[in-house]
Amino acid sequence: MAQAAASSRSGGNRRFVYVVASVAALGGLLFGYDTGVISGALLFINKDFQLNPFLEGFIVSSLLLGAMVGAAISGALSDRLGRRTIILVAAAIFAVGAIGAGLSPNVGTLIFFRFLLGLGVGSASALVPSYISESAPTDVRGSLSSLFQLAITIGILVAYLVNAAFASAGEWRWPLGLAFVPALILLIGMYFLPETPRWLVSKDRDEEARRVLSRTRTEEEVESELKEIRHAEDVEGEQAGYRELLAPWVRPMLVVGIGLAVFQQFVGINTVIYYAPTIIKSTGLADVASVLATVGIGVVNVLMTIVAILVIDRIGRKPLLLIGLAGMFVSLGIIGAAFLFSGLSGIISWVTLAGLMLYIASFAVSFGPVLWVMLPEIFPLNARGTGTGVSALSNWGANFIVAQSFLPLVALIGRPAVFWILAGMCIVAALFIYFLVPETRGRSLEKIELDLRDRMTVGS
């Protein structure tokens, strides 16, 4: 409360941090759109290019492979060249990728441009959270960083809707090409936005950092925040990038970052996001109902992310994760059981659907936003890009593994067992979070960093 009052005293220009976060979050919109658009588009690409299952899979997974590469290189590059610079490069890649994919004359070209789009998506996942987090005032940092995830969910929903709109025309080029519009807005918007004050201080450009901070903070706030960043930076010293990331006091946080990133995928979110229509259809619902239910999942995903934004800075990251995992555990159990009894009665289809809705709601209020909020928070300034990048790379790697193994596993051990394995993953994830993940709510990035350093140094 007191914090909220203090922030409203800090003047109207505080609004600019929302502009900064919203423009950067367009990177999330493209992430969601480009990953969400392909399942629907594939139906019609298939008609034009005569795909076999291998090529079909490759069109989907080329983006995931590109995202791994993008995440791996962009984070480290951003520690050296700046968050804003690399987001600008990613925006240009998004724009070229969208046009190229939409105009592709053959499968090879399409796969190439999907890979290129992946580079953009991976870079956005590694950079946008750090960019927003480093620009945000502490008391609203969680909400602002969650805008990235909100944009992802909106991107997925818009992709479902655009696909539906073009479906009767059998069109796939427009849905793929339309991503050019947000890419261009991101490119132009980022051009006018400043570099983050924290990255500037890490390069000893304190005067520029002061100028950036003073656009959104009172004079008093600027000086105290600058002092805090400078102090943490002095304690950190010259070491940067991978070397800093592997320093004994940072290594536990690398484990936390990679663990969170991998569990976010291993609880099975993209089996639902990518295969929702297939799963729903297999419950026995009619085609139209399946399409509507898929859109319903997209809507619940957006709405529950908004709920997370409203509460994340009040109830904290860890409680939100644990509550969400409990919901995911229960719903995956229900979905598995419903598949076991499917065919016995029409009601079972609706039970599956209710399970899917509870699952998506639980993910959207917790693991969806909290992962991207926490990644930049747990790494020290000099290794933030690199650490977030390595974690994002693990997220895309885990995504790839789950996406590739879901259908073969279903064929091998059946749907109920697959969903129960995912439920088991929720328990392992909850234990990992409960015992190893620190709470970061309400502390400045520098305070989190210095506290962790103290804890690790005392512990060693």
- Give me the residues that bind ligand BGC (CB under 6 A), please: 35, 149, 152-153, 156, 264, 269-270, 273, 301, 368, 395, 399
Name the CA radius of gyration of the chain, rounded: 22
Report the nearest approach of ligand BGC to the CB of residue 233 (Å). Answer: 30
Two tokens, residue 74: 């962009």
- For 226: left if phi > 0, alpha if psi spans -120 to 50, otherwise beta; the answer is alpha
Report the nearest approach of ligand BGC to the CB of residue 304 (Å). Answer: 10
CA torsion 37-39-44-49 (nearest 10°) is 100
For ligand BGC, the closer of residues 294 and 301 by Cβ is 301
Residues 6 or more apart whose Cβ sits within 8 Å of residue 312: 142, 143, 146, 320, 369, 370, 373, 441
Tell me the torsion sign for CA atoms 300, 303, 309, 310. negative
Two tokens, residue 1: 């409360």
For ligand BGC, the closer of residues 270 and 394 by Cβ is 270
For ligand BGC, the closer of residues 25 and 200 by Cβ is 25
Report the nearest approach of ligand BGC to the CB of residue 263 (Å). Answer: 11
Report the nearest approach of ligand BGC to the CB of residue 368 (Å). Answer: 4
Report the nearest approach of ligand BGC to the CB of residue 193 (Å). Answer: 23
Report the nearest approach of ligand BGC to the CB of residue 152 (Å). Answer: 5
Report the nearest approach of ligand BGC to the CB of residue 366 (Å). Answer: 10
For ligand BGC, the closer of residues 261 and 381 by Cβ is 261
Asked if 84 and 194 touch (Cβ cutoff 8 Å), the reply is yes
For ligand BGC, the closer of residues 132 and 213 by Cβ is 132
Asked if 146 and 308 touch (Cβ cutoff 8 Å), the reply is yes
Report the nearest approach of ligand BGC to the CB of residue 302 (Å). Answer: 9
For ligand BGC, the closer of residues 152 and 445 by Cβ is 152
Report the nearest approach of ligand BGC to the CB of residue 316 (Å). Answer: 19
End-to-end CA distance of the chain: 37
For ligand BGC, the closer of residues 35 and 62 by Cβ is 35
